[in-house]
Amino acid sequence: MYLPQEIIKLKRNGGQLSTAAIQQFVNGLTDGSFSEGQIAALAMSIYLNGMATEETVALTRAMRDSGAVLNWRGKLDGPVVDKHSTGGVGDKVSLMLAPMVAACGAYVPMIAGRGLGHTGGTVDKLETIPGYSCTQPLEKIQAEVARLGCVIVGQSGELAPADRRLYLIRDVTATVESIPLITASILSKKLAAGLDVLTMDVKIGSGAIMKNIDDASALATSIVNTAKGAGVPTQALLTDMNECLGATAGNVLEVLETLDYLTGKYREPRLHQVTLELGASMLQLAGLQPDKASAIAALEHSLSSGKAAEIFAKMVAALGGPVDLMEKPELYLGTAPVVQDIVLPAELAGKGQFLAASDTVAVGMAVVRLGGGRAHPAQVIDPVVGFSDVKPLGSKVAAGDVIARVHAASVEAAAKASSEYLAALTLSADAVTLSPIVHKIID
């Protein structure tokens, strides 16, 4: 048994914490025996001095075990898999990927989060569907996963409660960016879902938390090694977030794009590629497909057969949403009072004829200022605002072309957001070489 200050001192001085010391710290998070000041001090010590892989594994396991851990043994006839993204702008991949992978024989208990800062949140998107509840008891989650193949819900208070207290303190003590603490926070929640395998989508680029490949690789390596150390085979894909993913950014708009994707009405090429890449990783890790080509073929069949769309529709109905959302989305998903074209002005077009780069964080923050995201966790969002019909980088454009549409609560808000969107763009006189969808894979 250690005193809290002994644990803090050891890590402050660059030492390695024992599993017992880490377990005591996590116990202190949940039973209150560590004060907020002591938690903040240890978090800062970890931020400054890092953790060995063994320490991060011990912290992840202890935080996972601080609450309930779902046990699927003997209840399912296939592997339990999930995907987690570090977040970006327009990232609605989870909404289509979960039912697609379920249609291929896996079970997906996806525990999702809300948006904060410039990144959107899967829970916020789903809660724009009338009646859909992301707050479900564990028994309901397990029953519907077994019946349908997937559910997408928010974090239950029963799963990894230690993480909630630690994250709130990290958020106000400038220790959010610590790779060991990010790793333990992500994995404690994911592994509490009882996964057999996990695929990580680590975003990289102008709209990501990790701006360069070195930082993204460090985070991905930490997550992969820690998850493996905790007994869950994991692969990380470093995927591009140098522009909005798909054609929309904003909660209702992204749900509508998801419905179009699942039904085959429209599949934006970059969004489709990253969805297939992540899904192929999940199916191969789970042993459901022998190689990437067969995995992608199975995912494409889940779409062409209509099975993925059917599973999504059943999931929506099972969690309180309308039974006919796929057929009649206009009855349930609202529209903004003001919808305007964003037109490329002559002065910007004079700088070049190709869309060369985007300050994607600025685009995400424009959605937040429209009311579609949160500046603080308690803020109520406006679900219908955002951007649609987004032209991808590499597009050839001219003065007067519509390069996106803005959805806003007022004419004034639309004008401001349009200006912010245009200011985020860089044009080039020459055709541009686009970033690859997948920058790197870490096993």
Q: Spot the catalytic one: 82, 196, 201, 260.
A: 82
Which three-class secondary structure state does DSSP give residue 247? coil
DSSP per-residue string spanning 59-125: HHHHHHTTS-----TTT-SS-BEEEEE---SS--HHHHHHHHHHHTT-BEEEEE---BTTB--HHHH
Q: Backbone phi, then psi, for 381, in 5-degree steps?
A: -95, 155
Q: Counting Cβ atoms within 10 Å, is residue 297 exposed (0-12), middle (13-18) or buried (19+)?
A: middle
**CA-to-CA distance for 434 and 436, rounded, in angstroms?**
6
376 is catalytic: no
Which tokens sit at 287?
């042993």
Name the active-site residue from 11, 125, 190, 405.
190
**Of 159, 137, 129, nearest to 312 (Cα)?**
129
Q: Is 190 a catalytic residue?
A: yes
What tokens appear for 110 in the block?
């996806």
Active-site residue flag, 374 = no
The values of phi and psi at residue 231, to 5°, are 95, 15
DSSP per-residue letters across 411-434: HHHHHHHHHHHHHTEEEESS--PP
Q: Which of 85, 188, 263, 388 is catalytic?
A: 85
Contact between 143 and 75 under an 8 Å Cβ cutoff? The reply is no
From 64, 118, 164, 170, active-site residue: 170
Q: Which of 61, 64, 84, 92 is catalytic?
A: 84
Active site residue 170: yes
User: Of all residues in the chain, what percent are helix, strand and coil, respectively (each to 5)?
Assistant: 45, 15, 40
Nearest CA to 141 out of 230, 66, 69 is that of 69
List the catalytic residue out of 189, 267, 270, 272: 189
Encode burial over 358-392: b for 16+ CB neighbours within 10 A, e otherwise.
Answer: bbbbbbbbbbbbbbbbbeeeeeebbbbbbbbebbb
Q: Is the CB of residue 41 less than 8 Å from the CB of residue 175?
A: no
| Active-site residue (options: 11, 83, 272, 405) | 83
Q: State which H helix or E strand residue 203 sits in.
A: strand 197-204
Residue 182, H or E segment: helix 179-191
Tokens of 25: 């710290």
83 is a catalytic site residue: yes
Q: Which of 56, 122, 128, 156 is catalytic?
A: 122
Q: Which of 30, 56, 185, 248 is catalytic?
A: 185
Query: Which is it for the CA torsion 94, 95, 96, 101, positive or negative?
Result: positive
Element (H, E) at 403: strand 402-408
Q: Identify the H or E element spanning 294.
A: helix 292-304
The residue count for the chain: 443
Annotated catalytic, 314?
no
Catalytic residues: 82-85, 122, 170, 185, 189-190
